[in-house]
Amino acid sequence: MAKKPENGLLIDYEYCTGCFACQVACSQEHHWPAGMGGIQVLEIVQNLPKGKAYLNFLPFPTELCILCFPRTKKGLEPACVQHCMAGVITYGSLPDLAGELGKKPRMVLWSPR
């Protein structure tokens, strides 16, 4: 059985602007080639009634996300967290982040692999 996850990433997707800083920060930190990395930003165009639409971006931690443990053990934030231009990614323990999750809508808590 896999080890129980302890830490995660809380995303406030209300304010993710789709700047892709997290993706490139991850590639730089972990030397991933283009097209691979620990986080991927998805564009979601939602159809709403009356022909309207709504635009969202959503950072998603991939199978390659290691929550930047070499950084966090030195007391640094994960590369994506530090560089996120909109400041929408929070790293922490899952129970702490779960507490944050209830404070405003349009959030998602990821517990990567």
Partner 1 sequence: MNSENVHIVPTTTWSAGPGCHGGCGVLAHIKDGQLIKLEGDPNHPWNQGRLCARALAMTQYVNHEDRITRPLKRVGKRGEGKWEEISWEKAFDYIEKKMKGIREDHGPESIIFSMGTGRDIGPWICMLAYAFGSPNVMFSLSGSACYGPRLSACNTFQGCYCVFDAGQWLPDRYEDPKFKLPETIIIWGYNISATCPDNLFGHWIIDMMKRGTQIICVDPRLSFFASRSKHWLQLRPGTDAALAMGMLNVIINEDLYDHDFLEKWTNGAHLIRIDTGKLLREIHLEAAGDPGNFVVWDENSGTPAIWLSSQAEFKALNVKAALSGRWEVTLADGSRVSCRTSWDAYCEAVNKYPLDKVAEITWVPADKIRKAARLYAKSKPAAIQWGVPIDMTPAVTPTCHAIASLWALTGNLDIPGGNVIAKFAFDAVSYALPGAVGPIGLKDKDMDAKRVGVKEYGPYRTFHWRAQTDMTLDQIFTGKPYPIKGMWIQTAGLLNGIGLDPKKWKRALEKLDFIAAVDLFHTPTTQYADILLPAATFLEKNGVRSWWVPLQTINKAITVDQCKPDVEINFELARRFDPEFKYDTINKLFDDILKPSGMTFEQLQQKGWAIPPVSHPSAPYHRHEKGQLRPDGKPGFKTPTAKFELYSTHREDWGLDPLPHHEEPPFTPVSRPDLTRNYPLILSTGRRSPAYFHSEHRNIPWLRQLDPDPIVEIHPETAAAHDIGNGEWVWMENWLGRCKMKAKVTRIVPPWMVMAAHGWWYPEKKAAEPSLYGVWECNVNQLLPMGHQGKDGQGAPIKHLLCKIYKAVGKEERNG
Nearest approach in angstroms of CB 112 to partner 1 is: 20
Q: Alpha-carbon distance 113 to 5, whole Å?
A: 8
Gap between the Cα atoms of 39 and 98, Å rounded: 20
Q: Smallest distance, Å, CB 78 to partner 1?
A: 12
* CB 34 to partner 1: min, Å: 4
Q: Which is nearer to partner 1, 11 or 23 (CB)?
A: 23
Which residue, 24 or 64, has its beta carbon nearer to partner 1? 24
Query: HEC states along 14-56?
Result: CCCCCCCHHHHHHHHHHCCCCCCCCEEEEEEEEECCCCCEEEE
Task: Return the residue matching tokens 């490139």.
Answer: 24
Q: What is the binding site for partner 1 (CB under 8 A)?
A: 14-15, 17-21, 23-25, 27-29, 33-35, 45, 47, 53-57, 70, 79, 82-87
Nearer to partner 1 among residue 1 and residue 45 (C-beta): 45
